[in-house]
Amino acid sequence: MPKTISLAREQSLFDSIPVEILFIEEYMPTAPGDYVKVYLYLKHSLHAGQPELELAWLSRMLELEPTTVTEALSYWVRRGVLQQTADGGYRFVHLPTRTLTTHARDPELDAKLETNKPFQQALQACFGNRYLKPEELTRALEWAAVPGSGHHMVLCACGYAVANSRVGRRVSFRYVEKTLQGWWAAGVTNEQAQMKMETAQRATGGAAEVLRRLGTPRIPSQDEAELYRKWTQDWQFTHEAVLAACANTTGARQPSLAYLDRVLESLMTSTARDGQSVAAQAEQRTGRRRLAASVQKLFGMAGTVLPAVEEQCRAAADMGLDDAAVMASAKATARRYGGMAAWQRELERLAASGCTTAAEIDAYYGHRRNLEEGLLQACDIMGHQRRISPAEVTLYEGWRKRFEPELILLAAGYAVGTKAPLRYVDKLLAGWHQSGVASPEAARAAQAGHQSGAGVGGGGARTGFAPVGAQSGAGAGAGVAAGAQGGATAKGAQAGTHVNYQQRTYTDEELRERFTL
């Protein structure tokens, strides 16, 4: 690389300022912009009496890399605009009149092309209807003459560049040259060059078809072609599978290859790699999105389907719930808890209970509501006003397996005024169960006997708590509380009186206020 650029002035009579129209018409259109900058500045320097320029200074002045300046000098030498002198300098050459028309032919070039006619025809085929100028054909022959290159490698580089460039067949020869330089430096063989070209062409063609499927027909960029190559080579999806996955982009506002990339990445956990399998999964996902949209509506969430909701629907399907079961669980959760935060926990409870159909889920929530209403009524009677936990619901469910609601409510009346009423009822019912108590009358008799006996309540019940009087409904609890606080012994005479507790119902709001999640 020369450190100093020397210019000879012999031909300065032909290098006027402004620049010749011939240069503008024939040379500038196909030249890289940086090369034109170098050419014009050299003309300016020679005209200004600066025949020698430091390469580093010229690079800084034009804000170009030194290698770019050197490449520009070589380019203009090849084009016949500059000529290298014996001492390593350069001189401007009078532009030959044979280039006055674009289609004028150079006899020497024609002879070379005639010798390499198959190469010329193959090269023109790479660029289709684009007319290749004589200087472009000359450069291609020069590339083919480089050791380690050849006609086949040049053709592969052209095909690779056309496939990878956003402008397609209008790609510049500078891009082709950079491609070849990279291959030469890496020692790429003809076989490897062929493979690179074919891979690029498949990726570009495939990416172009995907873009058409997404409704944006255009030439794909190099990055988009690289995405397609990753899908079909690294991830092993077939072309048909990629096209089938496009159906999963319908939910996006602006479908793109980046969105499709995320869709295909989500399929990596499955074994689907062919078009039929991916199409089946796409259909499943479309159905899941519709299901997720319906679930969101139940929870009052309008708008685009949220990924978290769609994922929860997928998790529910993995638990064995069909669409009707998912809707049943979401409907019950929305009615019971109002928000969607509890839905995941509810799905886990359903799975643990073995409920996978809509009928089983409806039965589960019906049973659970009966438990909650019965426990809440008992808590109201015994004066237990704090929020009720799931563990306490489980405790009540154990009571219901052994006793009817009337007996449980009767026990709740005996628990009025205790420090731990639920624990008291649990011990009392355990004693009744051990003694074979199965009716309110037997319970009253047992309680009366214990109160008049050794002072120990049946089944662990404390002395001094009178049985429930002849009151009914939630108001009975208040009466029992007053009796217990004002002297339970005086109420003991009412032990044989029949008590008819009617199990009441509660609204969703009342249940929501009293029960914890």
User: 308-325: per-residue pLDDT in tens?
Assistant: 888 888 888 888 888 899
Residue 53's DSSP bridge partners are 5
Give the per-residue pLDDT at 433: 92
Q: Are strands 82-84 and 90-92 parallel, antiparallel or unpaired?
A: antiparallel
Cα angle 472, 473, 477; round to 5: 85
pLDDT digits (tens, 9 = 90+) for 231-281: 988 888 888 888 888 887 876 777 888 888 988 888 887 777 887 888 877
Q: Are strands 52-54 and 4-8 parallel, antiparallel or unpaired?
A: antiparallel
CA separation for the pair 71, 77 (Å, rounded): 10
Counting Cα atoms < 13 Å in the Cβ hemisphere of 69 gives 23
H-type helices in 383-517, by residue range? 390-400, 405-414, 421-435, 440-452, 475-491, 508-514
Structure tokens, 53: 């320029």
Residue 17 CA to its chain's centroid (Å): 59
Which residue in 97, 511, 212, 176 sits closest to 342, CA to CA?
511
Q: Which residues contact 144 (CB under 8 A, 6 or more apart)?
A: 116, 119, 150, 151, 153, 154
Give the per-residue pLDDT at 351: 85
468 within 8 A of 500, measured Cβ to Cβ: no
* The dihedral sign for the CA sequence 317, 323, 328, 333: positive
Helices 323-337 and 307-318 cross at an angle (nearest 10°) of 120
The lowest-confidence range among 117-121, 249-253, 425-429 is: 249-253
Structure tokens, 459: 């089944």
* Residue listed under structure tokens 């020869």: 173
Three-class SS state of 378 = helix
Classify residue 128 by burial, with Cβ atoms within 10 Å: 0-12, 13-18, 19+: exposed
Please give the residue that has the higher pLDDT: either 288 or 376.
Answer: 376
Q: Which residues contact 194 (CB under 8 A, 6 or more apart)?
A: 152, 156
Section 373-389 average pLDDT = 88
Structure tokens, 116: 């390499």
DSSP 234: I
Query: Could you give the domains of the chain?
Result: 4-99 (1.10.10), 107-201 (no CATH), 365-508 (no CATH)
User: 217 pLDDT exceeds 60?
Assistant: yes
The lowest-confidence range among 58-62, 301-305, 356-360 is: 301-305
Please give the residue that has the higher pLDDT: either 492 or 26.
Answer: 26
CA separation for the pair 141, 434 (Å, rounded): 106
Give the per-residue pLDDT at 177: 93
Give the per-residue pLDDT at 106: 57
Structure tokens, 62: 């034009």
DSSP 231: I
Please indicate, yes or no, whether the overall pTM of this predicted structure exceeds 0.75: no
| Average pLDDT over the chain, rounded to an integer | 79
Q: Where is mean pLDDT largest: 80-89, 98-107, 291-300?
A: 291-300
Classify residue 112 by burial, with Cβ atoms within 10 Å: 0-12, 13-18, 19+: middle
pLDDT-derived band at 485 (thresholds 50, 70, 90) equals very low
Q: What percent of the chain has pLDDT over 90?
A: 17
Residue 83's DSSP bridge partners are 91
User: 152 pLDDT exceeds 90?
Assistant: yes
Percent helix, strand, coil in the chain, to 5, is 65, 5, 30
130 within 8 A of 169, measured Cβ to Cβ: yes
* The dihedral sign for the CA sequence 128, 134, 135, 140: positive
323 within 8 A of 309, measured Cβ to Cβ: no
CA separation for the pair 428, 276 (Å, rounded): 65
